Structure 1
Amino acid sequence: MAWNRGARSEHERRVPTPARHDETPADPFVRHGIDDDLRERSKEEARTDLLARGARVVDRLPELPILPPLRDHRALGDHLRRRGALFSPVVVFGEERLSRGFTVLDGLRLRDGGLPEEGGYVTLDDEALDAAGRRLQREPMTEGKAAAERVIALLRSAGSREARDRIVLWEIVSHMSSPPPVVSERALAEPWTAAGLDPDEASRIAAALRRGERGAGRTGVAEREVRALLADRCLRQAETATAELPREHPLRSEVSDLAERVASLVRDADLALREGRTEDAARDLAVAVELAVDDERLPLRLGAIPPEPVQEVTARVDGRRVVVTWRPSTSTAGTVSYRVTRRTGSGGSARETPLGEVTGTEAVDDHLCVGGDAHYAVVAVRGGLGVSPEATSTPVMITPDVAEPRTVSDETGVTMSWRPPPEAIRIEVLRGEGTPPHGSSPGTIVVEHDGSRFHDASVRPDVEYFYRVRAVYLTSRGRTRTSQGRVIRVVPGPRAVPVRDLRVSPDPRGFAASWTPPERGRVRLFTDRREPSVPFGAEVDTGPEALPWAPVPGTPVVDADGRARLPLSLPAGITHVLAVTMAGESAVMGEHVRVTAAPPVTDLRAERFDTAVRLGWTWPEHTATALVSWRSDTPREDDLPMSAEEDREVLGTERRSRRRYDAEGGFEARMGAGPLLVTVRTVVPTGDDEALSVPVTVRVPGRVVIDYRVEPAGLLRRERVVRLSSEVSCRMPEIAVVYTPGRIQPHTGERGRVLSVLPARLLEPGERVSVRVRPPREAEPGWLMCFPVEGGEDVRLRQPPVKELRL
């Protein structure tokens, strides 16, 4: 029986027979026991005999891919090895889902999505890739996770589900092609059937690979070699290997077409070079190099094309080194790198020093001498051969400034010292009044000095001066060059006076600090959690990073009593408030105050439920306990309202932890029915004591609760007596006794009949008011209930049991 390769056919027949002792009916392509004379018989006789022996016969074997459908197939294989996955669907679906069964010859189809006839197959579509990406996000960052993410990205780059199906089939074919020819077809198929591949398809793929090799002897070996060379893009070696293939073999045309494409790209590049389109030529040759990596002439031709030059080369001094940067070349074909050269001197003393070749857009020169002029040239290089025109930077020079400047000033003058650079020939000091000085600035003077320090006695107290201290160098051309210079601000004057009477007191918005302004200088407040180690009256350094304390924002205001006042916002707990007086360049430590802060609650709100009141508020940061108290808000005998700040008799107090507040969703307590003033303070412990925040108060209107009962009366008990009472003294409004027919209890008296109205009156505690009514005789049931005539949100009628209301 001849095995012809070609398009896959669905005309397959299976004849199940009992398993022999050496194989099972599921064995693919059973060949044992086929006699040599079988080849002499007719095709139909051979088919009948094979079926009788338990073999499975197919008309044609599947057509397998020759070239990898993915350009980056090597990268895909590397990522799968790092992930430890057999092939890419393992990353997308997982081994467990694949083990339930899948097919590949008609595209990847997983059989865990339902019945095939209902369209229940799972495919390698965009939704599957998105789901796999979301699963990977939950994994910890490892090398395997990174490899899996790159596998997903490569599959997504294929663009369509059909392209991904071809990639999966190529992975399986490549894996089966790896073992030597002595491995049987069953051995080739077993790893894939164990992974979930349909046994029938695994057998067909293995047979298509092995039968194609063995059917032609040396031709099969040559075919495998050509395929491997094409997979590695070794076109020239593949052309040589095709000599072993038959003239009509399809691989010959594949290789020939690929060689013609490379030749066409080379011809297009030659034409582009003649027309001056160098970048078009480079792109064509880059594609040709990628298709024929073993052609040694193509990289040389590509590298010989000069790339586009770089743009905007700049050189800047960073301490004692030079950093050179540039915009990259616009050339993208081939490998483009950049050579950087330093040029110093001129004429006969000119020198060029290569700094190296980099692929980025930055180079660092650590060896330029101090005081030496230099400029830098950058060229783009393609493939190590083609060199672009150069681009150069403006000249730069390393000119370090003086180090460790120190300044001391008082009302008599300014003294300054520094450490000069060893390469400098001298130090120049300029002074400007009000603004930093330059060599040509008006009012700039040169201060005399001895090289490492100077004393300026010509200054006036409380005047702002700026000193620029710069080093002077001698260049290689015999000229002088100065450094940028270090600018130092000085305000000479007498020593600052410390603050002696700092006070911090509670404020409605938190705290407020106050002090007596000193005669000279300005006072700045700072806060710190720790007690300051600087003693009172000591000088402090006010440099940008010298003070370890947090400054208090805001501008102090002087009150009518002559004291300066500044609001403070302090966190919960202990805070030290420090006062520092600054006068010119002098700064001295004043008094400091220890404050225990309990920040108040915010957004306090209240809601009444009869005699119970429910509170809610926003806790300030770092607080865990609140103290809630409530007082009566009834008017005094003279009918003048009392303010919330006046002392009143406390009706109740309760502490509430923040944990319990969060668990219960707020604070609730029974506070009585009358109008209330409810106050909330936060509590912060301070060692053996505790601090309370400023009070936050909310008014809660009162609500009167009147109870009523409905009792039967009369000889036949058809009449009812309605009695009303209250536990506290209150003003009872007009109340109507209403009869409403129906089975559903009413909530208002709108649909009922008013049987009686009790007039408004003052109701004393425990006093009862009653009325006797006769409900109408109705066939259907009804309800007898009480309702306020005018409504009223400050009065609630508390109903009796439902059995008293139902008639």
Structure 2
Amino acid sequence: MAFDEQRYTREVLEPAREAGGLPPEDLRVRYQLREAMTAPEVSETVKQVRQCWRRARGMLKYKRLADRLEADHSRFAPIFSAAAEGDLTPLRAALGDSERRAARRLDDAGGRLDDAAGALRMLSPALLTTIARSSGVSPEEAVRLATERSIEVREPDALPEAAPYPGYGKAREALDTLGLSHLGRFIFGDRCAGMRVLDGLVVPGAGPAEDAVREVERQWSTRTRGPWTISADTVLAALRNSPGLATLIRYDIVARLRERVREHPYDDTLLRHATTELDLAPGDARRLIFAVRAEGGAVSGPSARLRELVDAGEIHAAADFADALDPGALIGEAAELATEVRARLARAVQLRNRARAALDPDDAWLALRDALQRVPDLPGAAELLVRLAPHPARGLRANLQGDGVSLVWQPSPSRAGRIVYDLYRNGAPLGTTERPSLRDERPPVNTPLTYSVVARRDEAVSMPAAAAPVVVRPEPRDIRLSAGDGVVSGRWSRPDGAMRVVVSRDGRVLASGDTGFRDREVVNGISHTYIVSAVYSGPEGEVITPGVRHTVTPQGRPRPVTDFTLHPDPAAPGTFLVRYEEPPTGELEIVALDAAPPWPLGTTLSLAELRGASRTIPTIPTREGQAIRPGGSQGVLLAVTVAGEVATVGGHLDHVNLAPPTRLTAQRRGVTVYVGFVWPPDVPEVEVRWKGRSMIVNPAAYRAQGGVRLDVPEGEPVTVEVAPTSLVHGERVRGPAASLRLPGHVPVHYDLSHQGPAWRRSVVVEVTADRPVRLRRFALVLKPGHVQPKSADDGVLLDHWIDLEVPARLTVPAPRQAKPYWLRCFAEGASEDAGAGSAMSPEGDVALIDPPVRRMKVG
């Protein structure tokens, strides 16, 4: 379809101008593109659209928009250059991005409309136009967005500026005295809820207003005279003398609403005030609040026109307008604006003249920029600005990097304005960037390439800087060399444009195919260097690339390690020492499997296959072999001998990683021994052994009982051993154990009694045990008060005995001590868990057992 310039102006340029000079984000609209266009059709349409921009630039109203469109086009030039070469992929991606930006612009505009409409959901046409222009959408789109959001666009209602009755102030004071919120309440009472005062006075459920006034007069005439009736008479006088009852009520409502608006409340608060306190219907409440908020003095005359031109940036036009006015019209604000406009224009003209005389384009550009900031419509300034090219870039270098070309240059010394760089390859546009570097990812292969760069500021471009010609000849890709027993093989991918690939080993060219080679003339254990190069046709014959270098070492078939042992390392929990006979070739590795290996002993397979079917275990070399940390709970450890890219399967063994428990503790409580420890990770059960007995404990049982409880006679020593355990293939396997020895002890009982007459009483201590035992030191302690002694030093020593043979009967004179007091015995070296204490004896630990409290406490 032929390009229709009139339609483009009507549907694109004019809406964009009305939207504040912002071009449409959607590139389909901006460039009149269609989905089914071919690459030549795209180039031709874009060309015609840009010609339309240049013609529209001659019209003052489209000049700024056309400049913006041309400036934006530089961002899309690489996309259309690719389209000209037949590649529409960048264009399709850009079209998708532009659609998303256009959608975001509409969403932003809708959000601004929502914010401006607020709770009232009303906007003036002028504010709608302003939001549309600043958001970059057309007024029609703004109206559609407002309709979708239930926003009413209307002019504010005209409100009365002066009271229709001169005595309204007195009537207002009288209403306040009567405690009424507005005049309608005086006339209609509670019936005025939902009252409408715009478009006539309407009170739901009430008759004519005149009848209501007469009824109010009758009611007040029957009341006893006083201050209340005087205020009512004042209001009634206002009603009788007002030119219109509806007009007075409306003015009263508006006056009260204006007072509340001056407090700057939120719209929700105003709506609540208008509908509850002023009894307005919701529709009238919204309209009145909207109208009151929109009130303000309207400026007109020369000052208004001058302000409009200044706000629009048309300073030169404002100066022409001021010069065309009669001198008598320039008074007040108009005179001030005219003076400001003329001063800004004069200074801008000076800067423009200085720019024309400047020798340095940067100085001229800065002067013109300042001039346009003062007077955006200064004649001739914009045209001069776009002709001020920056200083050129220098030192462009083109470096071959793989399949691409890296371009680096010294940036332009110009610092005025935004400098960008346009790159060209053999005269065709390549890309645009702000940084002094770019990479050509897809250059033509085996073709002389000449690159150049120009610095650009706006539309002005500098002299180009060119690099020395280069030719891109990629090396072979995906090169893979494998070494076996007396053989080395290789594969690759031949690059596009290459005639063939050649391979050399240690300077000797080898026979090779189109995608690989096989070299059988190598010696095991010796490293060989291979160079894989691509061959291209050149002007003077074949050209061979420097090639890609690889070094490999063929190895003989590695021998398997058929037997190895595994022992825990006592110095490092979780670590095991591997001992084996070192193979003559290759290196031993230990790998983990979940089950028995699928390969027979002695099988040689590729290292890649082995890695895919097993888990490599990190190893640390030791003097006797290797140290490994298998981790996990159980599995199979396999020994493999690795040489180059192959591995030979050796022996294997089942392994259960059972870590021993830590922090093992044991305490006696009579005939029960309480055992506790930190449960080892990844261990399903533990086995507890003591005095020839054993028991299996799982974590649930351990947590439920708060540990392990063992029955052991008090007098017998015991060794407790805790080992991790698990079932492997139906057989129970035990890991390293943790053990603790707990000595036995002999319980020794004592009893206290008082004998003899009151003037010569004695304390009798009877000490007994199940078998004879000797106590190194035995003491009797008294402590006054209600708290019993805790040790032999916590009180008064009544008596003590050394090397006491048990059983024994001891007598001590009764103390002369005021009641209450305590008597208690202690053996030297007592332990806290054995009642009063324990002492060392040849028989072992001795536990001293207290008698009942009533035997120890006196009084």
Question: TM tier, shorter chain?
Answer: 0.5 to 0.7
User: Does the Cα contact within 8 Å between 2:619 and 2:628 map onto a contact in 1?
Assistant: no
- Residues in 1 aligned to 2:623 and 2:639: alpha-carbon distance in whole angstroms: 16
Note the C-alpha offset of 1:399: 1.2
- Residues in 2 aligned to 1:675 and 1:283: alpha-carbon distance in whole angstroms: 104
Q: Deviations over 1:701-758 (max 9, x none)?
A: 6666655443454466965444445678876341211111123333234352222324
* 2:254 equivalent to 1:190: no
Q: Which one-letter code corresponds to 2:788 in the other structure?
A: Q
User: Does the Cα contact within 8 Å between 1:623 and 1:683 map onto a contact in 2?
Assistant: yes
Q: Could you say which residue in structure 1 is the equivalent of 2:50?
A: none
- Residues in 1 aligned to 2:749 and 2:390: alpha-carbon distance in whole angstroms: 98
Note the C-alpha offset of 1:496: 2.3
Q: 1:523 is matched with which residue: 581, 588, 606?
A: 588
> Residues 238, 251 of structure 1: CA spacing in aligned structure 2 closer, same or farther, 3 A cutoff?
farther
- Residues in 2 aligned to 1:258 and 1:628: alpha-carbon distance in whole angstroms: 101
Q: How does 1:554-633 map to 2 (within 5 A)?
A: 554=619, 565-583=625-643, 586-601=646-661, 603-606=662-665, 608=667, 610=669, 617-630=677-690
Q: Which one-letter code corresponds to 1:778 in the other structure?
A: Q
Identity across the alignment (%): 22
* 2:413 equivalent to 1:354: no
- Residues in 1 aligned to 2:340 and 2:673: alpha-carbon distance in whole angstroms: 90
Note the C-alpha offset of 1:330: 11
User: Does the Cα contact within 8 Å between 1:490 and 1:585 map onto a contact in 2?
Assistant: no
Q: Could you say which residue in structure 2 is the equivalent of 1:694?
A: 736
Q: Could you say which residue in structure 2 is the equivalent of 1:540?
A: 605
- Residues in 1 aligned to 2:288 and 2:335: alpha-carbon distance in whole angstroms: 22
Note the C-alpha offset of 1:489: 0.4
Q: Which one-letter code corresponds to 2:656 in the other structure?
A: T
User: Does the Cα contact within 8 Å between 1:312 and 1:327 map onto a contact in 2?
Assistant: yes
Q: Could you say which residue in structure 1 is the equivalent of 2:817?
A: 778
Q: 1:368 is matched with which residue: 417, 430, 443?
A: 443
3-state secondary structure, aligned to 1:472? strand
More helix by share: 2
> Residues 359, 207 of structure 1: CA spacing in aligned structure 2 closer, same or farther, 3 A cutoff?
farther
Q: 1:424 is matched with which residue: 475, 498, 505?
A: 498
- Residues in 2 aligned to 1:364 and 1:239: alpha-carbon distance in whole angstroms: 48
3-state secondary structure, aligned to 1:447? strand
Higher RCO (C-alpha 8 Å, min separation 6): 1
3-state secondary structure, aligned to 1:471? strand
> Residues 663, 459 of structure 1: CA spacing in aligned structure 2 closer, same or farther, 3 A cutoff?
same
Q: Which one-letter code corresponds to 1:516 in the other structure?
A: E
Q: Deviations over 1:396-417 (max 9, x none)?
A: 7341315554545435x65556
Q: How does 1:397-408 map to 2 (within 5 A)?
A: 397-401=472-476, 403=478, 405=480, 407=482
Note the C-alpha offset of 1:487: 0.7
- Residues in 1 aligned to 2:334 and 2:421: alpha-carbon distance in whole angstroms: 42
Note the C-alpha offset of 1:621: 3.8
3-state secondary structure, aligned to 1:527? strand
* 2:563 equivalent to 1:501: yes
- Residues in 2 aligned to 1:798 and 1:259: alpha-carbon distance in whole angstroms: 114
Show structure 1 runs of 5+ residues with no match: 5-11, 42-48, 64-103, 106-168, 177-186, 344-350, 432-443, 560-564, 631-648
> Residues 463, 302 of structure 1: CA spacing in aligned structure 2 closer, same or farther, 3 A cutoff?
same
Q: Deviations over 1:243-266 (max 9, x none)?
A: 9xx999999989998999999899
Q: Could you say which residue in structure 1 is the equivalent of 2:726?
A: 684
User: Does the Cα contact within 8 Å between 1:326 and 1:361 map onto a contact in 2?
Assistant: yes
User: Does the Cα contact within 8 Å between 1:402 and 1:486 map onto a contact in 2?
Assistant: no
> Aligned pairs, how many?
607
- Residues in 2 aligned to 1:259 and 1:660: alpha-carbon distance in whole angstroms: 98
Note the C-alpha offset of 1:511: 3.7
Q: Which one-letter code corresponds to 1:683 in the other structure?
A: T
Q: How does 1:380-459 map to 2 (within 5 A)?
A: 381-383=456-458, 395=470, 397-401=472-476, 403=478, 405=480, 407=482, 409-411=484-486, 414=488, 420-421=494-495, 423-431=497-505, 444-452=506-514, 459=522
> Residues 582, 778 of structure 1: CA spacing in aligned structure 2 closer, same or farther, 3 A cutoff?
closer
TM-score (structure 1 length as normaliser): 0.57
- Residues in 1 aligned to 2:416 and 2:615: alpha-carbon distance in whole angstroms: 56
- Residues in 2 aligned to 1:690 and 1:264: alpha-carbon distance in whole angstroms: 101
> Residues 388, 518 of structure 1: CA spacing in aligned structure 2 closer, same or farther, 3 A cutoff?
same
User: Does the Cα contact within 8 Å between 1:503 and 1:514 map onto a contact in 2?
Assistant: yes
> Residues 420, 545 of structure 1: CA spacing in aligned structure 2 closer, same or farther, 3 A cutoff?
farther
* 2:544 equivalent to 1:485: no
Q: Deviations over 1:535-581 (max 9, x none)?
A: 4333222369955533333365676xxxxx43332223332222222
Note the C-alpha offset of 1:388: 9.5
- Residues in 2 aligned to 1:191 and 1:224: alpha-carbon distance in whole angstroms: 40
3-state secondary structure, aligned to 1:495? coil
Q: Deviations over 1:506-559 (max 9, x none)?
A: 564554434333344332222233544344333222369955533333365676
Note the C-alpha offset of 1:485: 0.8
3-state secondary structure, aligned to 1:410? coil
- Residues in 1 aligned to 2:439 and 2:677: alpha-carbon distance in whole angstroms: 59
- Residues in 2 aligned to 1:251 and 1:670: alpha-carbon distance in whole angstroms: 111
- Residues in 1 aligned to 2:317 and 2:770: alpha-carbon distance in whole angstroms: 110
Q: 2:529 is matched with which residue: 463, 466, 470?
A: 466
User: Does the Cα contact within 8 Å between 1:679 and 1:697 map onto a contact in 2?
Assistant: yes
3-state secondary structure, aligned to 2:271? helix
- Residues in 2 aligned to 1:660 and 1:265: alpha-carbon distance in whole angstroms: 93
User: Does the Cα contact within 8 Å between 2:610 and 2:647 map onto a contact in 1?
Assistant: no
3-state secondary structure, aligned to 2:270? helix
> Residues 288, 56 of structure 1: CA spacing in aligned structure 2 closer, same or farther, 3 A cutoff?
same
Q: Could you say which residue in structure 2 is the equivalent of 1:740?
A: 783
- Residues in 2 aligned to 1:662 and 1:521: alpha-carbon distance in whole angstroms: 50
> Residues 380, 692 of structure 1: CA spacing in aligned structure 2 closer, same or farther, 3 A cutoff?
farther
User: Does the Cα contact within 8 Å between 1:400 and 1:421 map onto a contact in 2?
Assistant: yes
> Residues 402, 367 of structure 1: CA spacing in aligned structure 2 closer, same or farther, 3 A cutoff?
closer
> Residues 490, 308 of structure 1: CA spacing in aligned structure 2 closer, same or farther, 3 A cutoff?
farther
3-state secondary structure, aligned to 2:510? coil
3-state secondary structure, aligned to 1:526? strand
Q: Could you say which residue in structure 1 is the equivalent of 2:25?
A: none
- Residues in 1 aligned to 2:341 and 2:824: alpha-carbon distance in whole angstroms: 99
User: Does the Cα contact within 8 Å between 2:750 and 2:768 map onto a contact in 1?
Assistant: yes
Q: Could you say which residue in structure 1 is the equivalent of 2:855?
A: 804
3-state secondary structure, aligned to 1:732? strand
Show structure 2 runs of 5+ residues with no match: 1-159, 164-171, 202-208, 210-233, 242-247, 323-328, 833-837, 840-846
Q: Deviations over 1:666-689 (max 9, x none)?
A: 666666656554333223343534
User: Does the Cα contact within 8 Å between 1:402 and 1:471 map onto a contact in 2?
Assistant: no
- Residues in 1 aligned to 2:711 and 2:405: alpha-carbon distance in whole angstroms: 77
- Residues in 1 aligned to 2:539 and 2:709: alpha-carbon distance in whole angstroms: 86
3-state secondary structure, aligned to 1:572? coil
3-state secondary structure, aligned to 2:607? coil
Q: Deviations over 1:106-144 (max 9, x none)?
A: xxxxxxxxxxxxxxxxxxxxxxxxxxxxxxxxxxxxxxx
> Residues 790, 621 of structure 1: CA spacing in aligned structure 2 closer, same or farther, 3 A cutoff?
closer
3-state secondary structure, aligned to 1:463? coil
User: Does the Cα contact within 8 Å between 2:421 and 2:454 map onto a contact in 1?
Assistant: yes
User: Does the Cα contact within 8 Å between 2:775 and 2:827 map onto a contact in 1?
Assistant: no
Q: 2:827 is matched with which residue: 785, 788, 801?
A: 788
User: Does the Cα contact within 8 Å between 2:685 and 2:697 map onto a contact in 1?
Assistant: yes
- Residues in 1 aligned to 2:295 and 2:622: alpha-carbon distance in whole angstroms: 102
Computed over aligned residues only, the root mean square deviation of the Cα atoms, in angstroms, reads 6.3
- Residues in 2 aligned to 1:613 and 1:303: alpha-carbon distance in whole angstroms: 98
> Residues 552, 446 of structure 1: CA spacing in aligned structure 2 closer, same or farther, 3 A cutoff?
same
* 2:502 equivalent to 1:339: no
* 2:183 equivalent to 1:17: no
Note the C-alpha offset of 1:311: 10
Q: Which one-letter code corresponds to 1:692 in the other structure?
A: R
User: Does the Cα contact within 8 Å between 2:664 and 2:738 map onto a contact in 1?
Assistant: no
